[in-house]
């Protein structure tokens, strides 16, 4: 099983693999998150870590193969729906999609896929835009060495 | 085959003790028996799962909540105050430090003289000076980052790693404390810093998801035991998991001979003989094991002729106060996964009779008001960037959290029950009722906290929760010089038995206002020194941590 597959050709678990198109569509969703909130100057720099995340999710829980496939299908369905002006905006904002329990494909796409990508994106640096902070729970900011600490400190120490 | 030393439990008490003995005697024959299973530590996939779901990966190894009307549960609470056991400990390889916070305080000098100073409880059978060298060693062993110039407790050695500077989120609190003249300091925390030696534990990367650290930067007994077992220099050290000790066997009233165990994997019973037995199975299981070990020599359980085993239970009531600040102009946001600011102003001799307490500025501060929210939740709720920026600069809630010393009462106790929980342990009966003065003391604390909130520019705030969870359960086999006052001697040996020890928070004489584990680690190292001495080995204080490979291979 390829543990990490930075090329994104196929992300596999013993129960199967994600085909490259699905991986690409998931990446597009991640990029849409970056675009909608405008909180990442260059999402491309996050691609390797994003693919590793997908691989880790599937490794931890092979059910994610199914979740990812369903999410991609659901986004395609939203795109086809003429009543919905913007598929991604619908996914990010529809309040029902965020309600428990997770049953429908829309809820899977929002809660198990899009929401998790948001948490990942913040932990990779997306938080900075909102508060100007330099650290955030989940972000690997660096150690408390001789230099300035890897987080904001009081203005008057 | 007879093992020299058998230790029941694989938590920090067992790990520190093992480490100390093996440093003095690398070929010592030691067997650690652990009831629970082993889980992978330092795994990035597990870390990421925790990151995005918030679900702690070891949750299967906790007790279930107490039974509710229509919901199955575990253990029984029969006292006037509910002391939850769920989330209070872990039955697994490495024990409860797998989920601990790492706050690593020393007790204060007056804590060792509780009875003399206040008439409550009992005194420790020795004073702060006796434990001080072991505190130094313990801070190195668990890798504490702290402020060596802090005068709160006297010290003869520096912390191994420098303190984490205060955060911007601490600033408002510091100004308030200064205005009111309340003392404060850096919170000493078990997080690796940059080591001078080659270490298998990376320095803390301030990632802030510490309940499962992917780098091993927060001390966890499981990692420490792994380090010890991986060294070839320890040929006679081994650990067995899924071995649940049922009973301590005696060959004479004053001599333990071995253990009756259940091998959970095979379902078979096993007898394990030992020269010396150390019970290090936590403050609940340690007394329960003594209580269960009944026979013609000890009718009511080992060390229990005076019915003291399991009594005098204490734990820290942990309180949460919350207030609202009208705005957050500098867009404060939680940046760290652990607190950096503590006030031990009220953890003083003056407050001892009424109940000392500490106040901590929690790392979750501030919370964006009205949504109980962090940035992730705001985005996940679909707010736009503009709305989020507005929300984080608007009204926020802030908390002060803390804990209070409560005193032993023999009526507060635990007992072993015949029902077996899903992890294979005998269930626990908890009988605890808070002191009648507790509610008034909390009101007094609330007044101090309100002053701080107002000085921070907030409203008065209010108490939002008190948790009596048994995270810090202690004193259930307390130590005493005389057997009529406690269960173990100052050397942690069960009164009346020559080769049986209890190394646990259970053996604390009294409790103080701070988290117990640094003191427990110091006591474990002190016990290690005592056992080495008994074996004719010199004890050498060691200021290295288990992951320090360069040192380990040199010895
Ligand atoms: C959420 C939380 C946060 C905490 N944070 C802090 C903190 O910041 N600072 C601090 O000082 N303290 C903290 N504590 C307390 C700290 O975790 C404990 O003081 C410490 O872990 C106790 O260590 P121990 O070795 O005595 O027991 P444990 O770590 O509980 O180990 C006992 C071991 O014995 C095993 N065992 C039990 N019975 C048997 C049996 N019959 N046979 C074989 N094995 C058995 C158990 O499975 C367990 O592994 C925290 C506790 C909790 C719950
Ligand atoms: S903040 Fe430090 S201890 Fe906590 S998870 Fe990150 S590296 Fe580990």
What are A101-140's pLDDT values in tens digits?
A: 999 999 999 999 999 999 999 999 999 999 999 999 999 9
Q: Is the peptide bond before A101 cis (omega within 30 degrees of 0)?
A: yes
For residue A128, the surrounding DSSP H or E stretch is: helix A128-131
- What pLDDT is recorded for position A1? 31
Q: Taking 80 as the threshold, does the pLDDT of residue B384 lie above it?
A: yes
User: Hey, which residues 164-183 in chain B have their CB within 8 Å of chain A?
Assistant: 164-168, 170-171, 174
Contact B335 A134 (CB under 8 A): yes
In the block, which residue shows the tokens 């003392």? B183
| Alpha-carbon B349 to chain mean position | 23
The band of A58, judged by pLDDT with boundaries at 50, 70 and 90, is very high
Tokens linked to A22: 């699905």
Flag if B206 and A136 touch (Cβ within 8 Å): no
Domain count, chain B: 1
Sign of CA dihedral B370, B373, B378, B380: negative
As a whole number, mean pLDDT of residues B77-94 equals: 98
B251 lines ligand 2 (CB under 6 A): no
> In this structure, is residue B421 part of a structural domain?
no
State whether A144 and B46 contact (CB < 8 Å).
no
pLDDT of residue A12: 61
In chain A, % of residues over pLDDT 70: 89
Rounded to whole angstroms, the Cα distance separating B29 from B442 reads 49
Kind and range of the H or E run holding B32? strand B30-33
Q: What is the pLDDT of residue B467?
A: 98
- Nearest chain B residue to A97, by CA: B381
Using DSSP, state whether B137 is helix, strand or coil: helix
Maximum separation of any 2 CA atoms in chain B, in Å: 76
Enclosing domain of residue B345: 151-187+317-404+433-467
- Output the DSSP codes for A41-84: S-GGGGHHHHHHHHHHHHHH-THHHHHHHHHHHHHHHHHH-TT-
CB contacts of A118 in chain B (<8 Å) are 376, 379-380
Classify residue B339: in a domain, yes or no.
yes
pLDDT at site B374: 87
Residue B356 lies in a domain: yes
Q: CB–CB of B382 and A129 under 8 A?
A: no
- pLDDT given at position B190: 97
Q: Hey, where are the domains in chain A? A: 8-131
Question: Does the C-beta of B218 come closer than 6 Å to ligand 2?
Answer: yes
Residue B549: what pLDDT?
59
Ligand 1 lining (C-beta closer than 6 Å): B 8-14, 33-36, 88-89, 91-92, 95-97, 99-103, 244-245, 280-282, 285, 289, 425, 471-472, 504-505, 515-518, 520
Q: What DSSP letter does each residue of B292-305 carry, written as one string?
A: H--SSSSTTSTT-T
pLDDT digits (tens, 9 = 90+) for B148-164: 999 999 999 999 999 99
Mutate to test the interface with B, among A137, A145, A155 (most CBs of B within 10 A): A137
Residue located nearest, by CA, to atom 13 of ligand 1: B100
Complex confidence, ipTM? 0.93
pLDDT level of residue B554 (50, 70, 90 thresholds): very low
Say which ligand is closest to the CA of B62.
1
Residue whose C-alpha is closest to residue B495's, from B510, B512, B507, B511: B507
Residues of B in contact with A155 (CB under 8 A): 168, 171
Buried b / exposed e over B475-512, threshold 16 CB at 10 Å, is bbbbbbeebebbbbbbbbbbbebebbbbbbbbbbbbbb
CB pair distance less than 8 Å for B168 and A131: no
Placement of tokens 């269930």 in the chain: B427
């Amino acid at each position: 099983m390829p543990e990490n597959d930075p090329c994104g050709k196929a992300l596999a678990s013993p129960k199967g693999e994600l085909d490259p198109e699905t991986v690409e569509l998931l990446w597009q969703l991640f990029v849409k998150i970056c675009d909608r909130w405008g909180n990442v100057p260059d999402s491309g720099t996050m691609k390797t870590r994003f693919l590793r995340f997908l691989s880790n999710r599937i490794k931890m829980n092979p059910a994610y193969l199914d979740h990812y496939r369903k999410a991609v299908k659901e986004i395609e369905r939203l795109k086809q729906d003429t009543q919905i002006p913007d598929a991604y905006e619908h996914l990010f904002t529809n309040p029902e999609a965020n309600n428990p329990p997770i049953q429908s494909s829309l809820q899977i796409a929002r809660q198990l896929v899009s929401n998790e990508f948001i948490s990942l994106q913040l932990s990779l640096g997306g938080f900075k835009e909102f508060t100007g902070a330099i650290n955030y729970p989940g972000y690997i900011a660096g150690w408390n060495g001789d230099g300035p600490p890897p987080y904001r400190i009081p203005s008057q120490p | 085959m007879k093992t020299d030393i058998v230790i029941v439990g694989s938590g920090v008490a067992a790990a520190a003790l093992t480490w100390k003995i093996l440093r003095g005697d690398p070929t010592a024959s030691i067997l650690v028996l652990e009831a629970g299973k082993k889980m992978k530590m330092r795994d990035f996939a597990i870390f990421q799962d925790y990151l995005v779901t918030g679900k702690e990966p070891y949750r299967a190894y906790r007790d279930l909540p107490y039974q509710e009307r229509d919901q199955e549960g575990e253990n029984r609470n029969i006292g006037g105050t509910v002391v939850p056991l769920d989330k209070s400990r872990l039955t697994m390889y490495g024990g409860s430090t797998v989920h601990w916070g790492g706050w690593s305080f020393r007790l204060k000098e007056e804590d060792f003289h509780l009875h003399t100073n206040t008439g409550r409880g009992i005194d420790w059978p020795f004073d702060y000076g006796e434990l001080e060298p072991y505190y130094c060693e313990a801070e190195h062993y668990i890798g504490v980052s702290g402020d060596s110039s802090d005068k709160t407790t006297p010290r003869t050695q520096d912390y191994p790693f420098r303190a984490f500077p205060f955060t911007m989120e601490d600033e408002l609190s510091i100004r308030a404390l200064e205005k009111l003249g309340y003392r404060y300091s850096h919170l000493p925390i078990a997080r690796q810093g940059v080591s001078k030696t080659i270490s298998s534990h990376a320095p803390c990367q301030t990632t802030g998801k510490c309940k499962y650290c992917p780098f091993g930067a927060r001390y966890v007994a499981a990692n420490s035991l792994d380090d010890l077992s991986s060294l070839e220099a320890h040929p006679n050290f081994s650990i067995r998991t899924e071995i649940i000790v049922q009973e301590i066997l005696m060959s004479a009233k004053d001599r333990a001979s071995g253990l009756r165990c259940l091998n959970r994997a095979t379902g078979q019973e096993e007898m394990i003989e030992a020269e010396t037995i150390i019970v290090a199975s936590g403050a609940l299981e340690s007394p329960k094991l003594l209580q269960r070990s009944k026979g013609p020599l000890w009718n009511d359980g080992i060390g229990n002729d005076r019915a003291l085993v399991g009594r005098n239970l204490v734990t820290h009531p942990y309180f949460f106060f919350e207030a609202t600040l009208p705005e957050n102009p500098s867009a404060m946001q939680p940046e760290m996964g652990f607190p950096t600011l503590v006030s031990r102003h009220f953890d003083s001799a003056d407050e001892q009779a009424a109940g000392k307490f500490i106040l901590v500025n929690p790392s979750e501060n501030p919370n964006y008001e009205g949504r109980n929210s962090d940035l992730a939740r705001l985005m996940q709720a679909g707010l736009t960037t503009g709305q989020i920026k507005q929300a984080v600069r608007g009204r926020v809630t802030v908390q002060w959290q803390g804990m209070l010393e409560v005193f032993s009462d023999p009526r507060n106790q635990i007992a072993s029950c015949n029902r077996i929980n899903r992890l294979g342990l005998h269930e626990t009966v908890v009988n605890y009722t808070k002191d009648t003065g507790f509610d008034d003391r909390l009101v007094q604390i609330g007044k101090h906290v309100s002053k701080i909130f107002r000085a921070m520019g907030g409203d008065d705030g209010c108490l939002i929760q008190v948790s009596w969870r048994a995270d810090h359960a202690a004193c259930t086999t307390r130590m005493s010089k005389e057997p009529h006052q406690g269960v173990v001697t100052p050397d942690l040996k069960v009164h009346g038995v020559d080769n049986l020890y209890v190394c646990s928070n259970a053996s604390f004489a009294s409790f103080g206002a701070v988290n117990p584990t640094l003191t427990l680690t110091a006591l474990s190292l002190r016990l290690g020194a005592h056992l080495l001495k008994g074996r004719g080995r010199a004890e050498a204080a060691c200021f290295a941590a288990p992951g320090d490979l360069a040192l380990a291979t040199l010895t």
